[in-house]
Amino acid sequence: MKSLLICMLVSIFAFKKNQPYEPLRGSLTDNVILITGGSTGLGLESAKRLAVAGATIVVTSRNEAKGEKSVEAIQSYLKERGIINDVPKIYSLVLDLDDLDSVKAFPKLYKQLGIGDINILMNNAGVMAIPDRQLTKDGNERTFQSNHLGHFVLTAGLFPYLSRKKATVINVSSEAYQFTGGKFDIDNLNAEKEYGAWSSYGLSKLANILFTNELQRRADETGNSFLTTVTLHPGAVSTDLGRNLIGEEKWNELKTKGPSPLESVAINALSKFTKTVPEGASTQIFLAAAGADKTLVPGAFYENEKVKKLPPFATDATSAKELWEKSEILGGVIFDLK
Protein backbone atom coordinates (compact mmCIF):
# COMPACT_ATOMS: atom_id res chain seq x y z
CA MET A 1 0.00 0.00 0.00
CA LYS A 2 2.85 2.38 0.89
CA SER A 3 4.53 1.66 -2.45
CA LEU A 4 1.31 2.50 -4.30
CA LEU A 5 0.94 5.72 -2.32
CA ILE A 6 4.49 6.75 -3.12
CA CYS A 7 3.90 6.14 -6.83
CA MET A 8 0.72 8.24 -6.71
CA LEU A 9 2.46 11.07 -4.90
CA VAL A 10 5.39 11.13 -7.29
CA SER A 11 3.03 11.21 -10.28
CA ILE A 12 0.89 14.03 -8.87
CA PHE A 13 3.55 16.19 -7.29
CA ALA A 14 5.57 17.59 -10.19
CA PHE A 15 9.08 16.58 -9.20
CA LYS A 16 11.09 18.62 -11.66
CA LYS A 17 14.05 20.07 -9.81
CA ASN A 18 15.13 23.68 -10.16
CA GLN A 19 18.15 25.65 -9.06
CA PRO A 20 17.56 27.60 -5.83
CA TYR A 21 16.45 31.12 -6.74
CA GLU A 22 18.49 33.91 -5.18
CA PRO A 23 17.13 37.49 -5.33
CA LEU A 24 19.79 40.16 -5.78
CA ARG A 25 21.31 41.56 -2.63
CA GLY A 26 19.70 44.83 -1.69
CA SER A 27 16.86 44.36 -4.18
CA LEU A 28 14.22 44.15 -1.43
CA THR A 29 15.39 46.97 0.81
CA ASP A 30 12.41 48.97 2.16
CA ASN A 31 10.13 45.92 1.82
CA VAL A 32 8.43 44.30 4.81
CA ILE A 33 7.77 40.59 4.35
CA LEU A 34 5.63 38.58 6.77
CA ILE A 35 5.95 34.79 6.57
CA THR A 36 3.69 32.42 8.48
CA GLY A 37 5.34 29.21 9.59
CA GLY A 38 8.72 30.88 9.35
CA SER A 39 10.45 28.81 12.01
CA THR A 40 11.09 25.70 9.90
CA GLY A 41 11.22 24.30 6.38
CA LEU A 42 10.21 26.40 3.41
CA GLY A 43 9.19 29.36 5.57
CA LEU A 44 12.54 29.63 7.32
CA GLU A 45 14.45 29.12 4.08
CA SER A 46 12.38 31.87 2.44
CA ALA A 47 13.04 34.20 5.35
CA LYS A 48 16.80 33.64 5.13
CA ARG A 49 17.16 34.35 1.43
CA LEU A 50 14.75 37.28 1.41
CA ALA A 51 16.65 38.80 4.32
CA VAL A 52 19.85 38.56 2.26
CA ALA A 53 18.01 40.65 -0.35
CA GLY A 54 17.56 43.34 2.30
CA ALA A 55 13.93 42.89 3.34
CA THR A 56 12.65 43.45 6.84
CA ILE A 57 11.40 40.00 7.89
CA VAL A 58 8.62 39.02 10.28
CA VAL A 59 8.25 35.28 10.88
CA THR A 60 5.49 33.62 12.84
CA SER A 61 5.71 30.49 14.96
CA ARG A 62 3.54 28.67 17.47
CA ASN A 63 5.59 29.76 20.48
CA GLU A 64 8.22 32.31 21.47
CA ALA A 65 11.04 29.77 21.80
CA LYS A 66 10.68 28.63 18.19
CA GLY A 67 10.43 32.22 17.05
CA GLU A 68 13.60 33.26 18.84
CA LYS A 69 15.44 30.26 17.40
CA SER A 70 14.35 31.17 13.87
CA VAL A 71 15.51 34.78 14.30
CA GLU A 72 18.91 33.51 15.45
CA ALA A 73 19.08 31.15 12.45
CA ILE A 74 18.33 33.99 10.02
CA GLN A 75 20.87 36.28 11.66
CA SER A 76 23.52 33.54 11.49
CA TYR A 77 22.70 32.98 7.83
CA LEU A 78 23.25 36.69 7.12
CA LYS A 79 26.53 36.71 9.02
CA GLU A 80 27.78 33.63 7.13
CA ARG A 81 27.22 35.57 3.91
CA GLY A 82 29.20 38.56 5.08
CA ILE A 83 26.22 40.79 5.87
CA ILE A 84 27.41 42.52 9.02
CA ASN A 85 26.69 46.18 8.36
CA ASP A 86 23.21 47.45 7.47
CA VAL A 87 21.71 44.17 8.65
CA PRO A 88 17.96 43.98 7.91
CA LYS A 89 15.64 43.81 10.88
CA ILE A 90 14.26 40.39 11.80
CA TYR A 91 11.24 39.89 14.05
CA SER A 92 9.21 36.94 15.30
CA LEU A 93 5.62 36.90 16.51
CA VAL A 94 3.51 34.11 17.96
CA LEU A 95 0.66 32.87 15.78
CA ASP A 96 -1.38 29.71 16.17
CA LEU A 97 -3.51 29.11 13.09
CA ASP A 98 -5.37 26.36 14.96
CA ASP A 99 -6.74 29.01 17.32
CA LEU A 100 -8.83 31.74 15.70
CA ASP A 101 -8.53 33.90 18.82
CA SER A 102 -4.77 33.91 18.26
CA VAL A 103 -5.27 34.73 14.59
CA LYS A 104 -7.64 37.61 15.32
CA ALA A 105 -5.28 39.04 17.93
CA PHE A 106 -2.31 38.92 15.58
CA PRO A 107 -2.86 42.19 13.64
CA LYS A 108 -2.56 44.13 16.90
CA LEU A 109 0.72 42.35 17.67
CA TYR A 110 1.99 43.26 14.23
CA LYS A 111 0.96 46.90 14.62
CA GLN A 112 2.89 47.09 17.89
CA LEU A 113 6.14 46.36 16.04
CA GLY A 114 5.86 49.82 14.48
CA ILE A 115 7.60 48.85 11.25
CA GLY A 116 5.00 50.14 8.79
CA ASP A 117 2.90 48.40 6.19
CA ILE A 118 3.38 44.90 4.81
CA ASN A 119 4.59 44.59 1.22
CA ILE A 120 4.56 40.79 0.99
CA LEU A 121 2.30 38.47 3.00
CA MET A 122 3.42 34.88 2.53
CA ASN A 123 0.79 32.46 3.83
CA ASN A 124 3.15 29.52 4.12
CA ALA A 125 2.33 27.63 7.33
CA GLY A 126 0.36 24.43 7.25
CA VAL A 127 0.07 20.74 7.99
CA MET A 128 0.10 17.73 5.69
CA ALA A 129 -1.78 14.43 5.72
CA ILE A 130 -2.78 14.14 9.38
CA PRO A 131 -3.60 10.42 9.87
CA ASP A 132 -6.89 10.95 11.70
CA ARG A 133 -9.59 13.62 11.79
CA GLN A 134 -8.72 16.21 14.43
CA LEU A 135 -10.74 19.25 15.43
CA THR A 136 -9.33 22.58 16.55
CA LYS A 137 -10.65 24.42 19.59
CA ASP A 138 -12.85 26.31 17.14
CA GLY A 139 -14.49 23.07 16.01
CA ASN A 140 -12.95 22.96 12.54
CA GLU A 141 -11.04 20.10 10.96
CA ARG A 142 -7.40 20.86 11.66
CA THR A 143 -6.03 20.49 8.12
CA PHE A 144 -8.66 22.87 6.74
CA GLN A 145 -8.15 25.47 9.47
CA SER A 146 -4.34 25.34 9.49
CA ASN A 147 -3.97 25.47 5.73
CA HIS A 148 -6.86 27.69 4.64
CA LEU A 149 -9.28 29.10 7.21
CA GLY A 150 -6.64 30.47 9.57
CA HIS A 151 -4.92 32.23 6.68
CA PHE A 152 -8.23 33.57 5.37
CA VAL A 153 -8.96 35.16 8.76
CA LEU A 154 -5.37 36.38 9.07
CA THR A 155 -5.39 38.01 5.64
CA ALA A 156 -8.69 39.71 6.46
CA GLY A 157 -7.24 41.09 9.69
CA LEU A 158 -4.01 42.23 8.07
CA PHE A 159 -5.67 43.76 5.01
CA PRO A 160 -5.60 47.30 6.51
CA TYR A 161 -1.84 46.87 7.05
CA LEU A 162 -1.01 45.90 3.46
CA SER A 163 0.93 48.62 1.66
CA ARG A 164 -1.28 50.70 -0.63
CA LYS A 165 1.74 51.37 -2.86
CA LYS A 166 2.26 47.70 -3.68
CA ALA A 167 1.34 44.52 -1.84
CA THR A 168 1.42 40.85 -2.69
CA VAL A 169 -0.35 37.97 -0.98
CA ILE A 170 1.32 34.63 -1.67
CA ASN A 171 -0.68 31.52 -0.78
CA VAL A 172 1.43 28.36 -0.71
CA SER A 173 -0.71 25.64 -2.27
CA SER A 174 0.26 22.33 -3.88
CA GLU A 175 -0.37 20.03 -6.83
CA ALA A 176 -2.09 17.91 -4.19
CA TYR A 177 -5.27 19.84 -5.01
CA GLN A 178 -5.72 16.98 -7.49
CA PHE A 179 -6.41 14.60 -4.59
CA THR A 180 -9.93 16.04 -4.53
CA GLY A 181 -10.83 13.98 -7.58
CA GLY A 182 -11.60 17.02 -9.68
CA LYS A 183 -14.32 18.50 -7.51
CA PHE A 184 -14.79 21.01 -4.71
CA ASP A 185 -17.16 19.76 -2.00
CA ILE A 186 -18.35 22.78 -0.03
CA ASP A 187 -20.22 20.43 2.33
CA ASN A 188 -17.10 18.53 3.36
CA LEU A 189 -14.69 21.35 4.26
CA ASN A 190 -14.49 20.08 7.83
CA ALA A 191 -14.65 16.42 6.77
CA GLU A 192 -18.24 16.27 7.98
CA LYS A 193 -19.03 13.51 5.51
CA GLU A 194 -15.69 11.82 5.04
CA TYR A 195 -12.09 12.24 6.18
CA GLY A 196 -8.99 11.04 4.41
CA ALA A 197 -5.47 12.19 5.26
CA TRP A 198 -4.58 13.01 1.66
CA SER A 199 -8.02 13.91 0.32
CA SER A 200 -8.54 16.42 3.14
CA TYR A 201 -5.08 17.83 2.53
CA GLY A 202 -5.91 18.11 -1.16
CA LEU A 203 -9.14 19.94 -0.36
CA SER A 204 -7.25 22.47 1.77
CA LYS A 205 -4.79 23.06 -1.07
CA LEU A 206 -7.65 23.52 -3.53
CA ALA A 207 -9.07 26.05 -1.06
CA ASN A 208 -5.76 27.96 -1.23
CA ILE A 209 -6.17 28.26 -4.99
CA LEU A 210 -9.83 29.26 -4.90
CA PHE A 211 -9.12 31.82 -2.16
CA THR A 212 -6.35 33.30 -4.31
CA ASN A 213 -8.67 33.66 -7.27
CA GLU A 214 -11.52 35.19 -5.30
CA LEU A 215 -9.27 37.60 -3.40
CA GLN A 216 -7.83 38.86 -6.69
CA ARG A 217 -11.29 39.14 -8.24
CA ARG A 218 -12.60 41.16 -5.31
CA ALA A 219 -9.50 43.36 -5.24
CA ASP A 220 -9.97 44.16 -8.93
CA GLU A 221 -13.70 44.72 -8.49
CA THR A 222 -13.22 47.18 -5.61
CA GLY A 223 -10.42 49.15 -7.26
CA ASN A 224 -7.67 47.87 -4.98
CA SER A 225 -5.10 47.88 -7.76
CA PHE A 226 -2.23 47.86 -5.26
CA LEU A 227 -2.88 44.18 -4.49
CA THR A 228 -1.63 41.16 -6.40
CA THR A 229 -2.48 37.68 -5.16
CA VAL A 230 -0.76 34.52 -6.38
CA THR A 231 -0.47 30.89 -5.39
CA LEU A 232 2.04 28.14 -6.07
CA HIS A 233 3.21 24.56 -5.90
CA PRO A 234 6.65 24.38 -4.23
CA GLY A 235 7.25 20.83 -5.39
CA ALA A 236 7.49 17.61 -3.41
CA VAL A 237 10.01 18.48 -0.71
CA SER A 238 11.79 15.42 0.69
CA THR A 239 11.47 16.33 4.38
CA ASP A 240 7.72 16.98 4.26
CA LEU A 241 6.91 13.99 2.08
CA GLY A 242 9.08 11.59 4.06
CA ARG A 243 7.73 12.74 7.42
CA ASN A 244 4.14 12.28 6.36
CA LEU A 245 4.65 8.95 4.61
CA ILE A 246 6.24 7.23 7.61
CA GLY A 247 4.84 9.30 10.47
CA GLU A 248 6.19 12.05 12.71
CA GLU A 249 7.54 9.68 15.39
CA LYS A 250 9.50 7.50 12.96
CA TRP A 251 10.79 10.56 11.08
CA ASN A 252 12.14 12.10 14.30
CA GLU A 253 13.72 8.76 15.16
CA LEU A 254 15.50 8.71 11.80
CA LYS A 255 16.82 12.22 12.38
CA THR A 256 18.07 11.30 15.87
CA LYS A 257 19.48 7.80 15.35
CA GLY A 258 20.06 7.81 11.63
CA PRO A 259 18.54 5.43 9.06
CA SER A 260 19.24 1.73 8.71
CA PRO A 261 20.99 0.57 5.51
CA LEU A 262 17.62 -0.36 3.97
CA GLU A 263 16.08 2.96 5.03
CA SER A 264 19.07 4.79 3.54
CA VAL A 265 18.38 3.15 0.19
CA ALA A 266 14.72 4.21 0.37
CA ILE A 267 15.62 7.77 1.35
CA ASN A 268 18.17 8.07 -1.46
CA ALA A 269 15.62 6.76 -3.96
CA LEU A 270 12.99 9.23 -2.74
CA SER A 271 15.46 12.11 -2.99
CA LYS A 272 15.79 11.57 -6.75
CA PHE A 273 12.12 12.48 -7.17
CA THR A 274 11.87 15.25 -4.59
CA LYS A 275 13.35 18.65 -3.89
CA THR A 276 15.58 19.85 -1.12
CA VAL A 277 14.25 22.63 1.09
CA PRO A 278 16.32 25.29 -0.76
CA GLU A 279 14.95 24.03 -4.09
CA GLY A 280 11.40 23.83 -2.77
CA ALA A 281 11.42 27.36 -1.39
CA SER A 282 12.60 28.90 -4.64
CA THR A 283 9.24 29.57 -6.27
CA GLN A 284 7.79 31.43 -3.29
CA ILE A 285 11.03 33.41 -2.94
CA PHE A 286 10.83 34.25 -6.64
CA LEU A 287 7.22 35.39 -6.21
CA ALA A 288 8.14 37.63 -3.29
CA ALA A 289 10.89 39.28 -5.32
CA ALA A 290 8.71 39.58 -8.42
CA GLY A 291 5.86 40.95 -6.31
CA ALA A 292 8.07 43.77 -5.17
CA ASP A 293 8.78 44.54 -8.84
CA LYS A 294 5.08 44.27 -9.80
CA THR A 295 5.84 41.70 -12.50
CA LEU A 296 3.47 38.91 -11.42
CA VAL A 297 0.36 37.66 -13.19
CA PRO A 298 -2.53 38.43 -10.78
CA GLY A 299 -4.37 35.36 -9.52
CA ALA A 300 -1.97 32.95 -11.22
CA PHE A 301 -0.72 29.55 -10.07
CA TYR A 302 3.06 29.20 -10.29
CA GLU A 303 5.31 26.17 -10.43
CA ASN A 304 9.08 26.24 -10.86
CA GLU A 305 8.84 30.03 -11.12
CA LYS A 306 6.48 29.90 -14.11
CA VAL A 307 2.72 30.27 -14.54
CA LYS A 308 0.93 26.96 -14.87
CA LYS A 309 -2.59 26.61 -16.24
CA LEU A 310 -5.07 24.90 -13.94
CA PRO A 311 -8.10 22.75 -14.79
CA PRO A 312 -11.52 24.47 -14.69
CA PHE A 313 -12.60 22.98 -11.34
CA ALA A 314 -9.61 24.60 -9.61
CA THR A 315 -10.53 28.08 -10.82
CA ASP A 316 -14.32 27.80 -10.76
CA ALA A 317 -15.78 31.22 -9.88
CA THR A 318 -18.86 29.80 -8.16
CA SER A 319 -16.77 27.51 -5.94
CA ALA A 320 -14.45 30.40 -5.07
CA LYS A 321 -17.36 32.62 -4.07
CA GLU A 322 -18.98 29.85 -2.00
CA LEU A 323 -15.69 29.17 -0.22
CA TRP A 324 -15.24 32.87 0.60
CA GLU A 325 -18.73 33.14 2.07
CA LYS A 326 -18.36 29.89 4.04
CA SER A 327 -14.96 30.99 5.32
CA GLU A 328 -16.44 34.23 6.64
CA ILE A 329 -19.04 32.21 8.56
CA LEU A 330 -16.62 29.63 9.95
CA GLY A 331 -13.99 32.26 10.70
CA GLY A 332 -16.41 34.71 12.28
CA VAL A 333 -15.17 37.62 10.15
CA ILE A 334 -16.35 39.89 7.37
CA PHE A 335 -13.56 40.23 4.82
CA ASP A 336 -14.49 43.54 3.23
CA LEU A 337 -12.06 45.01 0.71
CA LYS A 338 -13.95 48.27 0.27
Tell me, yes or no, whether 310 lies in a domain: yes
pLDDT tens figures, 141-159: 999 999 999 999 999 999 9
- Asked, for residue 41, whether it belongs to a domain, the answer is yes
| Domain residue limits at 292 | 22-237+280-327
* Amino acid 248: pLDDT: 53
Give 285-330 pLDDT, tens digit per residue: 999 999 877 789 999 999 999 999 999 999 999 999 999 999 999 9
For residue 307, the cross-strand partners are: 302
| Residue 272 located in a structural domain | no
Q: Residues 131, 247: contact at Cβ < 8 Å?
A: yes
Three-state secondary-structure class, residue 214: helix
pLDDT band at 7 (very low <50, low <70, confident <90, very high): very low
Total number of domains constituting the chain: 1
Cα 303 to Cα 290: distance, rounded to the nearest angstrom: 14
CATH of the domain at 206: 3.40.50.720
Residue type, 283: T
Q: Is residue 259 part of a domain?
A: no
Give the number of C-alpha atoms closer than 13 A to the C-alpha of residue 142, restricted to the C-beta side. Answer: 16
Q: Are 146 and 168 in contact (CB under 8 A)?
A: no
Residue 195 belongs to some domain of the structure: yes
In a domain? residue 134: yes
Mean pLDDT across the stretch 247-272? Answer: 58
- At 171-227, the pLDDT tens digits run 999 999 999 999 999 999 999 999 999 999 999 999 999 999 999 999 999 999 999
Q: Please write the tens of the pLDDT for every residue from 81-119.
A: 999 888 999 999 999 999 999 999 999 999 999 999 999
Contacts (Cβ under 8 Å, ≥6 apart) of 204: 126, 143, 144, 146, 147, 148
> What are 59's strand-pairing partners?
35, 92
Residue 131 has pLDDT above 80, yes or no: yes
Q: Which of 21, 177, 201, 302 is catalytic?
A: 201
Is 201 part of the annotated catalytic residue set? yes
Q: Is residue 197 part of a domain?
A: yes
Q: Are 161 and 108 in contact (CB under 8 A)?
A: no
> Does residue 139 lie in a domain region?
yes
Cα–Cα distances in angstroms (integers) from residue 94 to residues 61, 101, 108, 324, in the given order: 5, 12, 12, 26
